[in-house]
Chain A
Amino acid sequence: MLDACGVQSAEDLFSHLPSAVRLTRPLDLPAGISEYEIVEYFRQRAAENVNGHASFLGAGVYSHFRPVLVDTVVARGEFLTSYTPYQAEISQGTLTAIFEFQTMICQLTGMDVANASMYDGSTAVTEAAMMAARATGKGRILVARSLHPEYRQVLATYTRNQGMRVEEFGYLNDAGLLDAEDLEQKMDGLTAAVIVQSPNFFGLIDRIKEAADIAHRGGALLIVAFTESVSLGIIEPPAEADIVAGELQSFAISPSYGGPFAGIIATREKFVRQMPGRLVGQTVDTSGNRAFCLTLATREQHIRREKATSNICTNQALIALMATVFMTVYGKRGLRELAEQNLAKSHYLASKLKPRFCGKFFNEFVARAPGKPPDEINRALFKRKIIGGLPLGRFYPELADSMLLCATEMSRRADMDAVAEAFA
């Protein structure tokens, strides 16, 4: 090969680089290690994390059982090691699975079209807001304080320099649901979108219809966000929404210290050309057989460049495939049954504590114990190999005495009883 290249050594291939840019020493990184040592290194790091504890953490990341079939499928090299399916003739596997994914997301959310995935829920909601601004030609966004606090932070970062203004509206102190009066008051003709989450950050089924009425009367779109996709197995889909944006982590995606997850955006047909991200469409091949390909790509950055609907290129395809396999395994009946189990567990736990808000909840709720700060409760629980709920003071100073607890199908009764004891 060196002869063919006309060089003495491969080093000569770099001789044209200006000497001033050359690194004249070796990289200050240790020499390579064997596969066995790599596994050992990461096992040791894993051991430095908490291990084998029960957990009642939710708040956007949920502990659900991952059906074995999920990793069986995504570990296949044909899915794992393939590129973005631009070459449709040799990518029908990925394309067909994405088409099925888009379909199932539409079925779940009640929307007409869904894209092939976004980075995560936070960027999906943010891109939905930018999409609403394009669709309406307006720049003001009204966002519920009960939207995941980190999602609101991402929204602020993205919108700051685009001539968009983000303002928050409150939640009701007793019900924990959105404050319709506050929203009504802040609504104006310059508002592009109202963003609400349901179940909201406090786990409560929020007032989508009221929000939709107010938004639509003011000429704004309604964006409904979700972080707990299992809730869609039992809760009425947000039919009044113009855009649904959320996070699919609950569909067999490991918590993995916060990622990789998969966000989605689903919407009405009339907004499809404003959508960010990849879309797969159905067509035929030259033999007339059904086939799939990436489509409506003129929305995207590789074609429209600075006028694109988003800068997203790489998405979360393999993670979306995990969700696809999960939805297939559970199916119509299973997702409902799974949601019912979550409901039963969380309501069992709640029956032993006093939920802070009176709104209806799915698998998360806010609780407090008079005279016992959340950290104290969590310390007591940790001694019993239990990670308690998320203390809310860091995000909501007015809820510093409360924590957000989540129970899923994986929560054991004995551990929930232990939580009740710690609160008592």
Chain B
Amino acid sequence: MYPENFRYTKEHEWVRVDGDIGTMGITDHAQNELGDIVYVDLPKPGVKVSQGGTLGSVESVKAVSDIYAPVSGEILEINTALADAPEKVNGDPHGEAWFVKIKLSTPGEIDKLMSAADYQAYIGAEK
């Protein structure tokens, strides 16, 4: 369920790093808690984000949740497909429904995040 090559935040984002580029989204656990996602608000490419800072938000019919940047850096690309098909976040949160690609400014930050096993233990404990 939770890919081994991803890192996870306590706020339920995942990030997958290839070279100096991190691709991020929200976890299956997060989409499940939020229910039917109806809208994803993402920053414009070029915006700089810092680890733990607000990056955007996801909305269900009756709730809004902030999304936090799992790593610091510059937004390179956003997943424009989510604008017309936010339901993908419910369908394939770890794949097709990635949110943004970030050019990492501080690659070492990744070590502060949880491994898949740690994250699974974390959400188990949260329940």
Direct contact between A and B judged by beta carbons closer than 8 A: yes
The 6 closest A-B pairs by CB, nearest first: A298-B59, A298-B64, A304-B64, A303-B62, A303-B64, A303-B63
Minimum CB–CB distance from B45 to chain A (whole Å) comes to: 16
A297 on the interface (CB 8 Å rule)? yes
Residues of A near B62 (CB, < 8 A) are 297-298, 303
B61 on the interface (CB 8 Å rule)? yes
For chain A, residues 263 to 313, give those with C-beta under 8 angstroms from any C-beta of chain B. Answer: 273, 297-298, 303-304, 307
**What are 16 A-B pairs at a CB distance below 8 A?**
A273-B39, A273-B41, A297-B61, A297-B62, A298-B38, A298-B39, A298-B59, A298-B61, A298-B62, A298-B63, A298-B64, A303-B62, A303-B63, A303-B64, A304-B64, A307-B64
Cα(A303)–Cα(B39), bound, Å: 14
Interface SS of chain B: strand
Cα(A298)–Cα(B64), bound, Å: 6
- Give the contact-size bracket for chain A: under 10
Smallest CB gap from A294: residue in B: B61
Smallest CB gap from B64: residue in A: A298
Residues of B near A307 (CB, < 8 A) are 64
Cα(A304)–Cα(B62), bound, Å: 9
Minimum CB–CB distance from A341 to chain B (whole Å) comes to: 46
Count B-side interface residues using an 8 Å CB cutoff.
Answer: 8
Cα(A297)–Cα(B59), bound, Å: 10
Minimum CB–CB distance from A313 to chain B (whole Å) comes to: 15
Cα(A273)–Cα(B63), bound, Å: 15
Minimum CB–CB distance from A93 to chain B (whole Å) comes to: 22
For chain B, residues 22 to 49, give those with C-beta under 8 angstroms from any C-beta of chain A. Answer: 38-39, 41
Minimum CB–CB distance from B38 to chain A (whole Å) comes to: 8
Known: A273-B39, A297-B62. 14 other contacts (CB 8 A): A273-B41, A297-B61, A298-B38, A298-B39, A298-B59, A298-B61, A298-B62, A298-B63, A298-B64, A303-B62, A303-B63, A303-B64, A304-B64, A307-B64
Residues of B near A303 (CB, < 8 A) are 62-64
Smallest CB gap from B38: residue in A: A298
Minimum CB–CB distance from A2 to chain B (whole Å) comes to: 39
For chain B, residues 41 to 88, give those with C-beta under 8 angstroms from any C-beta of chain A. Answer: 41, 59, 61-64
Smallest CB gap from A307: residue in B: B64
Q: Which of B38, B41, B63, B64 has the most CB of A within 10 A?
A: B64
Residues of A near B38 (CB, < 8 A) are 298
